[in-house]
Amino acid sequence: MSQLPEHMLVCEIRTPGAPDVLVPGQRPLPVPGPGEVLVKVAAAGVNRPDVFQRKGLYPPPPGASDILGLEVSGEVVALGDGVSNLKVGDKVCGLLAGGGYAEYAVIPELQCLPVPGELSLLEAAALPETYFTVWSNVFDRGGLKAGETILIHGGSSGIGTTAIQLAAAMGATVYATAGTDEKCRACEALGATLVVNYKEQDFVEVFREATDGRGVDLILDMVAGSYLERDVSLAAVDGRIVIIAFLGGTRADMDWRPVMVKRLTITGSTLRPRSVEEKAEIAAALRKQVWPLLESGRIRPVISKVFPLERASEAHALMESSKHIGKIMLEVA
C-alpha cells in the first residue's frame, strides 16, 4: 500500500446534534483485514440511519467505524489476506457497517457487488443499502410473490422507489403512500398502480376499495406507530406486515384481535448488525435475481440530489426535510 496516501478526508460528527455538526476531518487510511478490500470511494449514499447516528441515537455496531456511511462505490485499491474473487482495479459497490463518508473505505469482499451494466459509479453507490434492505424485507421476510399486492409506505423515499420498481418487476401489484401529489406521480411513474397522498386521503379506505375489500397481501412500513393498527385493518387474510423503521414512533395502542382472526404475520429486521455471512447471502440473491434487471435497464436507482462530501450537512438537512424523491448522494472522488 506504499503508493496510497497515509491519511484521507472524511466527514466527522463533531458532537451529536443537527446537520451542522458534520465537519470535514482527516483520518489514517484504513487497512483491509482478512477477507476485506480497500476501496477508493467515488460516491456514497445518504440514508436515514446516518441521520439517527448523527443525532446520537444509533451507535455503530461493535468493531464498525464511527464514520457515517453504509454504502459506497469505487475502485478496489488493496486486498486483505484471503480475498479471491476481487482484484485491484475492479469497480464495485458495497455495503458497510460504517465508514462510507470518506475517501477510502474497507469492505468485506462478500458484501461487494460489481457495478451493473452501464450504471455510473454514482448510480452504483445508490444500490447497496436500499437493495439489500428491500430484498431481505420484501422478498425474504415478506415472501412477496408474483400476483400478490404490496403497499409501500413512503413510496418516494430511497427505499420506496427501490421497492416499487422491484415489486413491479417481480409481477406484484404495487400500491404506495406519499406526502405530496408530485411524489405520488413519481411513484406511479416507477410502476405503482395506485398511490395515495396520505395527507389528503385515508389510505385504508382507498386501498380496501381498490382490492374489493380483500385487503393487501404485504405492507412495507417505515412509519410504524399509529400506522400499525391501520396496517392490520388493511391487511388481507394471511397478510404480512414488515416494519423497517419507526418514523411515526415506537409504540402502538391497538386492538390485536384482527391479527389472530386474519392470521397475520408482523415482522421486521435490521440490516446493519447482521453478520458478514448473512449479508453475503443477500448479496448472492441480489446478483442472481436483481442485477440482471439493473443490467438490462429495466430498473435503476432514482437519485434526487448530489452533494460533495464536504457538504454532507446539506445532504442531511435535505434528508430531514423529506422534500426529496429517491436517493441523496455524496460525491467523494
pLDDT for position 1: 46
Give backbone dihedrals phi and psi of 280, rounded to 5 degrees, phi first. Answer: -65, -35
Q: Which of 136, 185, 182, 194 is nearest to 163 (CA)?
A: 136
Alpha helices in 42-180 (DSSP H): 48-54, 121-125, 128-134, 158-169
pLDDT for position 206: 98
Could you give the angle at the alpha carbon of 30 between the alpha carbons of 103 and 122, nearest 5°?
A: 30
**3-state DSSP: the chain helix, strand, coil percent, rounded to 5?**
30, 30, 40
pLDDT for position 333: 74
pLDDT for position 3: 87
pLDDT for position 101: 98
Q: Give the CA distances from residue 251 to residues 94, 177, 223, 254, 329, in Å, rounded to whole numbers and listed in that order.
A: 33, 21, 11, 10, 31
**Hey, CA dihedral for 37, 43, 116, 159, is it positive or negative?**
positive
Interstrand relation of 303-308 and 327-331 (parallel, antiparallel or unpaired): parallel
Block means of pLDDT (10 residues each) for the chain, 333 residues, are: 86 97 98 98 97 96 96 98 98 98 98 97 98 98 98 97 98 98 98 98 98 98 94 98 93 94 97 96 98 97 98 98 97 89
Distance CA 219, CA 213 (A): 16
Task: Walk me through the domains of the chain, giving residue ranges and CATH numbers.
Answer: 7-127+272-331 (3.90.180.10), 131-268 (3.40.50.720)
